[in-house]
Amino acid sequence: MARRHQLIERPPGQVWAVLADPARYDDWVVGVTGSAPGRGDWPRVGADLSYEVALGPWKGGGRTVVRRCEEPHVLELEAHSGPLGTARIAVDVRPWGERDSLVTLDEHPLRGTAGTLHNAAFDVFLQLRHRRMLKRLAYTVERSGPPLEAGQSPH
């Protein structure tokens, strides 16, 4: 299991606005390109996105399904990456002070090759990926607009 956190200098509503925008998924998720909404209303439970997954020279189709959504604090996803299997990805967004958010990313393989071969070395790979992914999320959120005052909506 790989768990990592990042302080983002925007309130949870602004972080959530990026997480809830299916067009921005490949702005912050490492290894994903060309995301497109699928079934349902992202990020409601059961909604999904499709995209291309690239891992080194290997490329294939991927799909992520929302398994739990508690706006604006919890988003749990199941990522389907073809022969690599599936993974649970949980994003927790907490207020940190009056204007910031502490975002925690927790991922572990569920099924398939990644689940079977899961070990400490794989967790190191996930930690490196998560460090980059959370920095990309912070960058995407922080460049999406100035910090909002308490009670303001990002929409």
pLDDT digit string (tens) for 59-100? 788 899 999 999 999 999 999 977 778 889 999 999 999 899
- pLDDT of 32 reads 81
Per-residue confidence (pLDDT) for residue 81, from 0 to 100:
78
| 43 contact partners, CB below 8 Å, separation of at least 6 | 19, 20, 22, 66, 69, 71, 75
For residue 92, the domain's CATH number is 3.30.530.20
Is 77 within the bounds of a domain? yes
The answer to whether residue 149 is domain-embedded is: no
> What is the value of pTM for the model shown?
0.84
Q: Is residue 41 part of a domain?
A: no
In the chain, the number of structural domains is 1
Mean pLDDT along residues 26-36: 85
Domain-located, residue 152 = no
| Model confidence at 115: pLDDT above 90 | no
The distance of Cα 12 from the centroid of its chain, to the nearest Å, equals: 14
Expressed as residue numbers, the domain containing 121 is 2-35+47-139
Confidence grade of residue 155 (pLDDT, cut at 50, 70, 90):
low
Q: Which neighbouring-strand residues pair with 90? A: 76, 106
Neighbours of 148 (CB within 10 A): 15
Convert the pLDDT of each residue in 36-70 to its tens digit: 899 999 999 999 999 887 777 877 888 999 999 99
Which pLDDT value is given to residue 6?
95
In whole angstroms, give the CA distance from residue 41 to residue 154: 19
Please state the rounded mean pLDDT for residues 145-152: 63
Is 40 inside a domain boundary?
no
Whole-number Å distance between alpha carbons of 35 and 43: 14
